[in-house]
Structure 1
Amino acid sequence: MNDRVDFAWQGLRMSVPDDWNLGRVDGDFEKGYARLDDAEIVRAEIEWRRLKGRGEALRLTELVDRYLANLQKKAQNVDAHFEVQLRARFLKNKKFL
């Protein structure tokens, strides 16, 4: 299972094993959820929401960078491959939006 595919949603793109499938997706840019499953179990869950009324909010890119750095550390601790491409461009043809 070394083959990987791109999963992209709401500006986030990540490479996942090719046997992971979209199990559920809800929401929009403001608030939402995406789940990736394989034939056995849930493999990844992504949740987002816009923060309001909590003072100075961190930029989304800062939050994502912190989260990805934490995931990288966890992957290193278990000697797992972890790779992220930030600011990935996708959905070039937006005519249907």
Structure 2
Amino acid sequence: MSRSIENNTNLQRFEWAEDGILSVLDYQLQDGVMVITHTGVPEAVGGRGIAADLTKYALDTARENGWTVRPQCSYAAAYIKRHPEYADLAV
């Protein structure tokens, strides 16, 4: 991944701006569980792998911090199914 994704802890979301357009992955952190609630990539920058990069970054952040993950967002749930190396994080 070549994107420098930012973790905006105040808003509880991971952010990436491409071509001036903001994409986000929203989460809630509750007792060591990262609940991924939404992944949003505007159509204008869709198809560039941004959602995958945001999700990977979120999951890597969870692993680094010893958190488990509850993927309420359908994209995040599907990503974890496609990438079994993250299955141990899901609750």
Same-fold call, TM cutoff 0.5: no
Q: Greater helix percent: which structure?
A: 2
For the pair shown, which has the larger CA radius of gyration, 1 or 2? 1
Give the TM-score of the pair, scaled to structure 1: 0.29
Give the TM-score of the pair, scaled to structure 2: 0.30
